[in-house]
Structure 1
Amino acid sequence: MQPSHKKPPNASSTPDAATTENRGEAGLTADLADREGPEVRSCDVQFRDFGGRVAFEGRIRTVKCFQDNALLKEVLSTPGEGRVLVIDGRGSVHTALMGDLIAELGRSNGWSGVIINGAVRDSAVLAGMEFGVKALGTNPRKSTKTGEGAVDEVVELGGVRFVPGEYVVADQDGVVVIDAP
C-alpha cells in the first residue's frame, strides 16, 4: 500500500495559514517538491528534529550569530505570529544556541518554530514542547550573550536562500522555501 499525502486544497497556490488544511502534518515538503519539480528550493542540510512539533511552517525571520544567542533570544521575545526563525550559527556545535527556556519564550510568543544551523541543549525537554525545533545536534555548553550578529539579513544554508518575509515549510522530510503567500 502506498502512503498518501494530503495535497494543499488549491495545489496551484502557495500554502498559507488560511488555506493549508494539513498544517503540522507530515508530507507537505514532499508534496511541494513534487509540485515544484527540479526548481524546488529544498535545503540540503540534514537537520535533526528536537521539538515536539516536527512539522511546522511560517514566514521567515533570520538571525546570523556565532556561538552567541542574545539576538535570537531578543527576536523570540517579540510576537511571532506563526513565523519561523532561521538561525545561521555557521554550523558550530561547540555551544548551544537554544535550550528549553529560549524555546519556551518563542513558543509562548506565538512562533511556529526555529531552524538552527548550530546546536541546542535540553533536548529531552524540547522533545515534549509543542514547538518546532530543527538543529544540527546538541551540546550542553552555554553560548555567550554579547549580542553580536545580525537580524533579518538573507541567510544561505544548504544551497537555499532564506529571505525574511518568504515562507518556509519543515517536516520529517526536510525544509523547503517558497515565495511569500
Structure 2
Amino acid sequence: MTPTTDICDAHEDKIAAGTLRVVEPMFQSWGMKAQFMGQAHTLKVFEDNSLVRSALEKDGQGKVLVVDGGGSMRCALVGGNLGMLAQNNNWAGIVVYGCVRDTLELDECDVGIRALGTHPMKSQKRGTGHENVDVALSVTTVRPGNWIYVDEDGVLVSDEPLSV
C-alpha cells in the first residue's frame, strides 16, 4: 500500500477539493496490520454492537468496516471475538469512532483496527443502528463505498480509489 503521506503529497488538489479527506489524528492502533485499505462499509450505532457482529459475519474481502459509535467512551464496540470474525471473513480492517476491548486478543488478529481507546465493558445488544449510511469520524464524513487508506501516519477517506 502507498503510504498515506505519499497519497496526500500526490493528491493535494483532491484535498483542496474535498474529495480526499484526512481524518484528524485521534486513533490508536491494534491488530497485526498497521497498514490497510479498502472500500468503506459503514455502520452508525450507539453503545450497541449487534450490527457490528452481523456485518463482520459477512465476507469483507476488499472492505474496511467504518463504525460511527458516536465517539462514546462508555463501552466497547469491538472485542477479541469480533476481531477474529473480521480476520476469518477477510476484512481489511476496522475503524471505530468509539472503543474496543480485549486488546491483547485484538493484537493477535491478522486485521488492522483503529479506535479512540479501550474500555473493559461490553456494549448492549439491542439490534439498533443503521447500515450503509453516511457516518462521521469526528468532523470527517465517510460515505458507503468511499475508499479508506490507513497506516501509521493516519486515516484518509477518498471518494474514489487512488494511486500514486
Q: TM-score, normalised by structure 2?
A: 0.90
> How far apart in 2 are the matches of 1:75 and 1:133?
15
Among 133, 146, 153, the alignment partner of 1:153 is: 133
Larger mean CA deviation between 119-128 and 38-47 belongs to: 38-47
> How far apart in 2 are the matches of 1:45 and 1:152?
24
Among 50, 56, 65, the alignment partner of 1:85 is: 65
Tell me if the contact between 2:59 and 2:91 (Cα under 8 Å) persists in the aligned partners.
Answer: yes
SS at match of 1:97: strand
> How far apart in 1 are the matches of 2:59 and 2:104?
25
Question: 2:150 aligns to what?
Answer: 170
Among 86, 94, 105, the alignment partner of 1:106 is: 86
Tell me if the contact between 1:50 and 1:134 (Cα under 8 Å) persists in the aligned partners.
Answer: yes
Instruction: Select the structure that is richer in strand.
Output: 2
> How far apart in 2 are the matches of 1:95 and 1:43?
22
Q: TM-score, normalised by structure 1?
A: 0.82
* 1:124-163 superposed matches below 5 A: 124-163=104-143
Q: Does 1:96 align with 2:76?
A: yes
> How far apart in 1 are the matches of 2:69 and 2:110?
23
Question: 1:69 aligns to what?
Answer: 49
Runs of 5+ consecutive residues of structure 2 not aligned to the other structure? none
1:93 positional shift: 1.6
Among 33, 41, 51, the alignment partner of 2:8 is: 33
Runs of 5+ consecutive residues of structure 1 not aligned to the other structure? 1-22
Q: Once superposed, what is the RMSD of the aligned Cα atoms? A: 1.3
1:128 positional shift: 2.0
> How far apart in 1 are the matches of 2:160 and 2:87?
22
SS at match of 2:155: strand
Question: 1:49 aligns to what?
Answer: 29
Runs of 4+, deviation exceeding 3 Å: none
Larger mean CA deviation between 153-162 and 87-96 belongs to: 153-162
> How far apart in 1 are the matches of 2:99 and 2:118?
5
1:45 positional shift: 4.3
The count of residues paired between Structure 1 and Structure 2 equals 156
> How far apart in 2 are the matches of 1:180 and 1:105?
27
What is the one-letter code of the residue matched to 1:79? D
What is the one-letter code of the residue matched to 1:179? D
What is the one-letter code of the residue matched to 2:10? R
Bigger Rg, structure 1 or 2: 1
What is the one-letter code of the residue matched to 1:31? D
What is the one-letter code of the residue matched to 2:69? G
SS at match of 2:11: helix
